[in-house]
Structures are given as C-alpha cells and as structure tokens.
C-alpha cells in the first residue's frame, strides 16, 4: 500500500535549495525546524503554491505532482485545506458565513452543508455562529478557521504554525480540539511548528527540517529519543515520550500519580481525571543516573532499568544514553565524566532519576 504522504522534491528559491523527501503514514505529521529551514516552502509545495523543479507529491495515492510525467495538479483542484498562523477570516461576514465560504471551492455534489453540525461539535463553535470575527478570541478565531477548512472536505489539512500567534492560555484551550481533529476525522494533517512541546503532544510522525532537507522522520517518540538528536541542527532536545494513565491523586501534596510502562511517576498537578490517558515528556537533561536505588534525595521519580545504548560525546562534553526501563526508552544526558566515573556500558543496571516531567494535559 502506498503511504499517506510521499514527497520528494528539489526546488531552488533564490539562494535557498529545498531538497526534501519523506514518506508518512501518520495522522498528524509535524514538520519541525528552525526559522528559515524550509518548512513553509515545503507546505507550499504540497499545497500547490510552489511548482517544484523536480520531484513528486503523492497524497493518499493521488499524484498531485510528478515532474517526470509532467503532472502538476493546480492548487484549487488539490482539495487541500490550509490553516495559517492568523485565522484570516472575513471581518464583514458572520462566523456561519465564514464557515460556509470554504464550500465554494468544493464540488457541487458535496456542498450540502450536512457536515456543519459535526464540525461545529468537533470544534465547539456552535454558539458563535451569528457573531462576527472581531469579537472572538484568538483561539475561537482559529477554531473557526479550522472549521472553514474542514467544510471544504479536504483530503489533507495543512496547518502552518496555527498556534504561533496565541498566548499560552489560548494555546492550551485549542490543543484538545486539534487532538480531536487528529483522532476523530479521517483527514491526514501536516503541521508546521517550531515548538517541541506542541510537537511532542500532537505529532504521530515527526520530520525534522533543516537547510531545506529532512534530517530525520519517523514515529514521534522514536525520533525524539534518538541519541544523535543533539548533533542534528535545529532538532529538539532529546526526550522520552511515554503514554501514561492517571491512577491517583495525593491531595495533601497536590501530586498526581501516573502509571507508565516504565514505572510510576508523580507530577505536581491537580485536576486530571482519574483513568484518563496522556503523554508524558521527559527531557534528557532532566534525567540523572544512579547505580543504586536512592534514599534521601528530593526527586520523586526513580525508575529501574538497564543501559541500552550510549551516544557519542558532544563538543560540549555531554553524552546521551538510552535506558531501557521495562521496554520503554528513557533518554538521559550526562557529562562524559559521569559516564566514565560510573563505568557505564551497554547492559549496566541503573536507576533513572527524573527531576521534572512535563505532561500534555492542559
Ligand atoms: N521566493 C523566494 N525567493 C528566495 N528565497 C526564498 C523564497 N521563499 C523562501 N525563500 C527562502 O527560503 C528559506 C526557507 O523559507 P521558509 O519560509 O520555507 O522557512 P520556514 O522554515 O518556514 O521559516 P519560518 O519558521 O521562519 O516561517 C528562507 O531562507 C527564505 O528566505
């Protein structure tokens, strides 16, 4: 079976060269990279705003571009939805009119509006229908912009930094809607971001973009825990992503207990529903390593495991290593000196001592 996305393009833009190829079967593929790395150019190639000099763009088996065969489907025939950093709503139209505007670009037989209730429900915007964009919060505007894109029944949704202009509170408000969109709609999403936290939370597939090329691509947890991340320019800090379940709350200290395959973690958070599941992100620099189980330290989270792999020493003298904790990989960043002092090697039994855990719940 062909992948959902199959992209390989070469294109010169002034002195910048895009030479990027990747395939993805992810529901949400994040393009992550520094400013100027080529993320937007790549999105524009997929959307049809840039006609690449060489290459192909195939979405769900549909060939949109194949330069060898002279195929270039123009952008208005690609059925690709766009959501930008700013919502770009029409100020003189109501939310309802803005939402239905996207349908002008959809084949007639599909513009019956029967999707509207489901989209309103998915994005929680039913109560806004008669309002005009001026009175809406940034998060509400973005939800309307997403709804407008969805109502055009796209075969792919391109989201280019959709949260970048929102403050933290508005971001937290909109993230669960993007998760629902990812999990409940059968529309693959390509999502541009330079926020590692956002990508850790949302992406099923992660592609690292640098200098116009894809430097790594694969399942998010796998890419994020690669030991060569520190040497990939523009990549996020190596980290472990774990699926966790809320199993208890200690009201006296405001600590939530999370069950993961690697062991139990405690985080300083309240208000998480018992039994709910979430992703946990642990930065390599927040993990220390001990040879014995520890007493008398402040860290609450100590997981037993064995060293699975030791990375190369960085220029700054740091070494990342992967610790296998019951089949779950925890990445730790140590100094080369500590690795030597503890005589760590592949197979050494160790304890990962976790200083801080970030979780994806708002
Ligand atoms: N039409 C063009 N002519 C010349 N150079 C261009 C053109 N379009 C883009 N570039 C250059 O290509 C590079 C990649 O730009 P692009 O917008 O794709 O990066 P990006 O990763 O999306 O960055 P940001 O996160 O800042 O939006 C930049 O150096 C940009 O200046």
The more confident residue out of 178 and 361 is 178
Residue in 163, 239, 233, 156 with CA at minimum distance from that of residue 198: 163
- Domain membership of residue 160 (yes or no) is yes
Q: Does the structure show a pLDDT above 50 at 106?
A: yes
Ligand 1 nearest atom to the CA of residue 14, by list position: 4
Span 61-87, mean pLDDT?
94
What percent of the chain is predicted at pLDDT more than 70?
Answer: 95
Which pLDDT belongs to residue 357? 76
Ligand 1 proximal residues by C-beta, below 6 Å: 13-14, 16, 33, 35-41, 194
Q: In terms of domains, do 91 and 144 share one?
A: yes
Residue 104 neighbours by CB distance under 10 Å: 8
190 and 86 within one domain: yes
Q: What is the pLDDT of residue 108?
A: 52
Flag whether 229 is in a domain.
no
Question: Which among 190, 223, 256 is the end of a domain?
Answer: 223
pLDDT band at 109 (very low <50, low <70, confident <90, very high): very low
193 and 313 within one domain: no
Identify whether residues 18 and 135 lie together within a single domain. Answer: yes
From 68-77, 235-244, 296-305, 320-329, the region with the lowest mean pLDDT: 296-305
- Residue 147: the pLDDT is 93
Q: Are 165 and 44 contained in the same domain?
A: yes
Q: What CA dihedral angle connects 125, 126, 131 and 135, to 10 degrees?
A: -30
**Site to substitute for ligand 1 among 40, 163, 164, 207, most atoms within 8 A of C-beta:** 40
CATH number of the domain residue 172 falls in:
3.40.50.300
Give me the mean pLDDT over the 289-312 stretch.
Answer: 84
Ligand 1 atom 31, closest CA: 36
Q: What is the SS3 assignment for 102?
A: helix
**292 and 261 in a common domain:** yes
Question: Is 281 a residue whose pLDDT tops 70?
Answer: yes
Contact between residue 150 and residue 187 where contact means Cβ atoms under 8 Å apart: yes
What pLDDT, on the 0 to 100 scale, is given for residue 297? 61
Residue 233's CB: how many other CB atoms inside 10 A?
11
Q: What is the mean pLDDT of residues 339-361?
A: 88
pLDDT at 50 (0 to 100): 96
Residues 196 and 124 in one domain: yes
**101 falls within a domain:** yes
Does the pTM exceed 0.80?
yes
Mutational pocket test of ligand 1: of 10, 13, 193, the residue with most ligand atoms within 8 Å of the beta carbon: 13
Interval between CA 213 and ligand 1 midpoint (Å): 13
Mean pLDDT along residues 110-132: 84
Residues 149-181: tens digit of each pLDDT: 999 889 999 999 999 888 888 888 899 999 999
Mean of pLDDT values over 46-53: 96
Q: Are residues 247 and 281 in the same domain?
A: yes
> Which residues, 6 or more positions from 150, have their beta carbon under 8 angstroms from its beta carbon?
81, 102, 115, 119, 122, 157, 181, 185, 187
- Measured in Å, residue 184 CA sits from the centre of ligand 1 at 33
Which value does ipTM take for this structure? 0.93
Which residue, 161, 189, 223, sits at the end of a domain? 223
pLDDT range class, residue 314, cuts 50, 70, 90: confident
Query: Is there a single domain that holds both residue 14 and residue 124?
Result: yes
My answer on whether 107 and 253 are in the same domain is no
Domain shared by 69 and 216, yes or no? yes
The alpha-helical segments, DSSP class H, found in the chain are: 39-47, 95-101, 116-123, 138-151, 168-184, 196-202, 220-224, 336-341
Asked if residue 196 and residue 83 are part of one domain, the reply reads yes
Q: Model confidence over 87-104: pLDDT tens digits?
A: 889 999 999 999 988 665
pLDDT at residue 300 in the model: 75
Domain final position from 173, 190, 223 = 223
Q: Residue of the nearest CA to atom 2 in ligand 1? A: 13
pLDDT, residue 166, reads 87
- Whole-number Å distance, alpha carbon 227 to ligand 1 midpoint, is 29
The answer to the question of residue 271 being in a domain is: yes
> What domain range includes position 161?
5-223
**Number of domains into which the chain is organized:** 2
Nearest CA to ligand 1 atom 7: 13
Mean pLDDT of the chain: 90
Residue 294 above 80 pLDDT?
no
Q: What integer is the mean pLDDT of 125-148?
A: 93
Q: Residue 16 C-alpha to ligand 1 middle, in angstroms?
A: 8
What pLDDT score does 361 carry? Answer: 67
* pLDDT value for 144: 94
229 pLDDT tier (thresholds 50, 70, 90): confident
When pLDDT is cut at 50, 70 and 90, the band that residue 293 belongs to is confident
Ligand 1 pocket check: which of 30, 34, 37 to mutate, most ligand atoms within 8 Å of Cβ? 37
More confident residue, 31 or 114: 31
């Amino acid at each position: 079976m062909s992948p959902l996305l199959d992209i390989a393009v070469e294109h010169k833009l002034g002195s910048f060269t895009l030479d990027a190829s990747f395939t993805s079967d992810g529901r949400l593929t994040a393009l992550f990279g520094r400013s100027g790395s080529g993320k937007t150019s790549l999105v524009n190639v997929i959307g049809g705003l840039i006609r690449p000099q060489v290459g192909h763009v195939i979405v769900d088996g549909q060939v949109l571009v194949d330069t060898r065969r002279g195929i270039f489907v123009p952008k208005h025939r690609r059925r690709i939805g766009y959501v930008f950093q700013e919502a770009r709503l029409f100020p003189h139209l109501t939310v309802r009119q803005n939402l239905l505007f996207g349908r002008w670009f959809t084949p007639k037989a599909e513009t019956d509006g029967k999707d509207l209730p489901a989209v309103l429900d998915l994005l929680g915007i039913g109560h806004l229908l008669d309002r005009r964009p001026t009175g809406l919060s940034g998060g509400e505007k973005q939800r309307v912009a997403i709804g407008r894109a969805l109502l055009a029944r796209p075969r792919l949704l391109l989201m280019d930094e959709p949260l970048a202009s929102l403050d933290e509170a508005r971001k937290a408000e909109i993230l669960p809607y993007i998760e629902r969109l990812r999990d409940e709609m059968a529309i693959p999403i390509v999502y541009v971001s330079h926020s590692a936290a956002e990508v850790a939370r949302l992406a099923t597939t992660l592609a690292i973009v640098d200098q116009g090329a894809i430097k790594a691509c694969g399942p998010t947890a796998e890419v994020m825990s690669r030991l060569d991340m520190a040497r990939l320019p523009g990549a996020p800090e190596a980290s472990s992503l774990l699926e966790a379940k809320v199993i208890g709350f200690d009201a006296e200290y405001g600590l939530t207990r999370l069950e993961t395959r690697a062991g139990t973690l405690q985080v300083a958070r309240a208000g998480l529903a018992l039994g709910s599941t979430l992703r946990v992100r642990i930065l390599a620099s927040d993990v220390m390593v001990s040879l014995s189980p520890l007493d008398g330290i402040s860290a609450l989270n100590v997981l037993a495991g064995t060293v699975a792999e030791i990375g190369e020493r960085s220029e700054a003298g740091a070494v990342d290593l992967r610790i296998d904790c019951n089949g779950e990989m925890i990445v730790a960043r140590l100094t080369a000196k500590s690795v030597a002092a503890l005589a760590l090697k592949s197979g050494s039994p160790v304890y990962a001592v976790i200083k801080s855990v970030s979780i994806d719940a708002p």
